Amino acid sequence: MAINRYYSAIAQDTTLSAPATNSATSITVSATTGFPTSYPYVLAVDYGASAEELVNVTAAAGLTLTVTRAFNGSSAVAHATGAVVRHVIVAQDMSELQAHINSQTLSTTGAYTSGVHGVAGSVVGTTDTQTLTNKTISGASNTITNVPVSTGISGLGTNVATFLATPTSANLASAVSDEIGSGPLAFANIVLNAQTGTSYTLLSSDVSKLVTLSNAAPITVTVPNGVFSTGVTINLQQIGAGQVTIANDGTTTITGTGTKLRTQYSAATLVCTSSNNFTLIGDIA
């Protein structure tokens, strides 16, 4: 792995003030004028001579420098007092630079798109078509436009996308997983189911509605088996002269203080208390 090295544009040549063997791990120089003050950096000992050796300086104590010998393919040899010492750029500097460039991905437009300066993954551009993953976008400082919520966001619950695209009561009911009963979810006026016959059997679609019953003769409303779930309600009102009787179908059970609406315009609510069990609450007799 490449290690950052340091450089100075004002380093002055110096010399060894003491000899160095081919195995010494430190050298002593006459001066360090302009040398880098951070480590490591590279020196050429016996600069320009046949005995030239590159050493990597890793620390300094005054004029004594701790070095790694035979750096960048040079050979560790003995050096005499007075050997010229110069701060240099070496071949490895250029090789590592080229390796860094070659590790990046170049697009057809001449722009580096991935691996840039050691960044893992692709670089997000301002004009390229790209797919973003594992990104956090702050809504406080960013605006996302032209993204259809119903189709452009994954992870939505069942039928939620349909409701977002077409926000009707029926579509909302399809998106709500714990709805009691069936039919559209309404938030405004109560839905009416006007009946004018002498008999009527309640339907699952009557949940939360007001079933009005109008006939001059008596009317029988039958509560069927296996249609309603616990907690649903159905509202009933007698608006004609014929008295309304709420009857079971032979298997359902109805409790309450009575099973008939008391008089014309009387109203009551039928509540499913458990499977096939109901209670009648209201103006009953």
What one-character-per-residue DSSP string does 47-73 give?
TTSTT-EEEEEEEEETTEEEEESSGGG
- Provide mean pLDDT across the span 170-189: 70
Is pLDDT of 173 > 90? no
Is pLDDT of 98 > 90? no
149 versus 181: which is more confidently predicted? 149
What does pTM read for this prediction?
0.43
DSSP three-state, residue 237: strand
Burial 59-97 (b: 16+ CB within 10 A, else e): ebeeeebbbebebeebebbebeeebbbbbbebebeeeee
Peptide linkage before 224 cis (omega within 30 of 0): no
What pLDDT is stored for residue 267 in this prediction?
98
- Provide mean pLDDT across the span 233-252: 97
Per-domain residue ranges of the chain? 14-93, 149-178, 192-282
Is pLDDT of 281 > 70? yes
Superfamily for the 192-282 domain: gp9 (2.60.120.640)
| pLDDT range class, residue 228, cuts 50, 70, 90 | very high
- Provide mean pLDDT across the span 87-105: 82
| pLDDT range class, residue 110, cuts 50, 70, 90 | low
At residue 196, φ and ψ (nearest 5 deg) are -125, 5
| pLDDT range class, residue 181, cuts 50, 70, 90 | low
| pLDDT range class, residue 66, cuts 50, 70, 90 | very high
What pLDDT is stored for residue 140 in this prediction?
73
| pLDDT range class, residue 176, cuts 50, 70, 90 | confident
Lowest mean pLDDT among 40-49, 85-94, 112-121, 182-191: 112-121
